[in-house]
Amino acid sequence: MNRLRGNPWATLVVLSLGYFMTLLDSTIVTIAIPSIIDSMHATLPQVLWALNSYIIAITVLLITAGRLGDRYGPRQIFVVGVLLFTVASLLCGLATGPGILVGARVLQGAGAALLMPQSLTLIVASFPRERRGTALGVWAAIGGVASVLGPALGGLLVNAAGWRWIFLINLPIGVLVVVAGLTIVSDLRTGRQHSLDVLGVGIASVALACFAYAVTNGADHHWGPLIWALLAAAALFGTGFTVRQRQRQDSDPLVPFALLRIRSYTVTLGIAAAGTGATFAITVVAALYFQSVLGLSAFRAGVILAPASAMSMLIALVAGRLADRIEGRYILLTGMVVQGAGILWTALLMTGSVHWTAFLAPMAVIGTGNGCSIAPRTTVAMREVPQALTGAASGILETMRQLGAMVFTAGAVALVQGLQSVTGGSGPAMRAAMVLPIAVLALGAMACLALPREAAEQAEPAVHAQPVPSD
């Protein structure tokens, strides 16, 4: 493997495999919920925590993980993340009770949070500007593969070997990625020593944990006093974190305010939150509609949703290459308009009198729009970010995506619940709730118009990462 060390395409394969594992485990567990309940004699809320705890752990730790990569080197943190994720997968597979499973899933989420921003940082550092969009398109397409493969592979493993193998399958992949990460991926660093704001990490983690728990579990608590208290606590700690970061701007803050002065980066944060949030919201509402209103099986509902994931994967590859040749804001704008049109088409079909196959075409349109957005928004966001800040920028970008997914999914579900008594049933309520992802995409499309024009020739950032000699 020494001949492949530093090869950007070999590096991309290694990083994509790690990214693939984290996204696969965000979807593969859903299909195994009934088997886990029967095996552990657990309740549905207990097992649902195995899903939510993973998402919450990722959201809480992403910003910190990005800064750890700046301090200790993205390759080192990537390998540590994959190793932690792999060990946690073994613990999940050996879990004897729901509490142990949830704890192991938290460790899995921590490992995923460590490796995710490093993947983006290393891709940006490994590829020249003119090939970066193509590389990010391949990386983004891996997400589409994981989304399509997760439920199908999970069902196959559960039927053939039992639910524990949805976690144990990560072991050989994780070992391969750790070895390849140490032997193929270059140790790229800026040459500058970074300190870590431990107090800032604590404040940010508490704020994000309160917010993530409140948003993820608000519906289960009927948006009662506990949820509002947690949201108030999140706002309080968030304000404290902002004050802390203002004081730390001259000594390695977790959130460098210099990033927020980069217009293309700041605007794209909102676009990323809107695009990811709308995608998750439409997926959840559509899946509920197909099963609870049309009475379809989980398998057939997955078949209807499959064109969206498949088209996202295919179009992401093309859009990534286009982002190397034309302005990314035009591709982003096109993607959001197309995705919004697909959601509107889906809403118009939700009358209860159409055959389920009629939804396949609008789902493909939704996937086409989403695929147009995945790679270009990352390319546009990171275009003017100095190399020394790519770790922090990657962590913040991934955090905004996670927050967008949680907020708008919870908003769509709450809207469905609130509209049921007004519209006279679940079907009309779900159809009316489609206005939320459409409105979110409309706002994202308007934000695309606020992106600055790209210069014909753009110089590379002044601070470059350099390979560190092999250990």
Quote the pLDDT of residue 384.
Answer: 83
- Domains, the chain, in order of start with CATH, read 1-187 (1.20.1250.20), 257-452 (1.20.1250.20)
Ranges under pLDDT 70 in the chain: 1-2, 27, 30-31, 44-45, 143-145, 147-152, 155, 189-195, 298-299, 323-324, 352, 423-424, 454-471
Within 10 A of 321 (CB to CB), how many other CB atoms are there?
15
Going from the C-alpha of 274 to that of each of 267, 301, 352, 433, the distances in angstroms are 11, 25, 29, 16
DSSP string across 243-295: HHHHHTTTS--SS-HHHHT-HHHHHHHHHHHHHHHHHHHHHHHHHHIIIIIS-
> Is the four-CA dihedral 316, 320, 321, 327 of positive or negative sign?
positive
C-alpha distance from residue 16 to each of 132, 180, 365, 457 (Å): 14, 12, 26, 29
Write down the pLDDT at residue 470. Answer: 42
Cα dihedral: 101, 105, 108, 113 (round 10): -170
pLDDT at 377: 82
Strand partners, 123: none
344's tokens = 């509107």
pLDDT value of position 149:
64
Give 147-170 pLDDT, tens digit per residue.
656 666 776 777 778 888 888 989
- Measured in degrees and rounded to the nearest 5, phi and psi for residue 189 equal -140, 160
Q: Under a CB-based contact definition with an 8 Å cutoff, are residues 15 and 186 in contact? A: no
Distance, in Å, from the CA atom of 387 to the CA atom of 188, rounded to the nearest integer, reads 10
46 CA to centre of own chain: 24
Q: Tell me, what's the pLDDT at 442?
A: 94
Q: What is the pTM of this model?
A: 0.78
What six digits make up the tokens of 134?
A: 């193509």
Q: Which residues contact 34 (CB under 8 A, 6 or more apart)?
A: none
Q: Report yes or no: 109 and 46 within 8 Å, Cβ to Cβ.
A: no
- With CA atoms as reference, report the closest residue to 248 among 198, 191, 193: 198
- Which candidate, 6, 1, 393, places its Cα nearest to that of 188? 6
The 3-state DSSP composition of the chain as helix, strand, coil percent (nearest 5) reads 80, 0, 20
- Note the pLDDT of residue 31: 67
Mean pLDDT of the chain: 82
Rounded Cα gap, residues 351 and 346, in angstroms: 10
Q: Cα–Cα distance between 406 and 113 in angstroms, integer?
A: 16
- Tokens 């950032």: give the residue: 461
Is 161 strand, coil or helix?
coil
Write down the residue that tokens 């949201």 correspond to: 231
Locate the DSSP E strands across 59-108.
Answer: none
What's the token pair of residue 219? 């519906």
Q: Give dist(CA 148, CA 152) in Å, integer.
A: 7
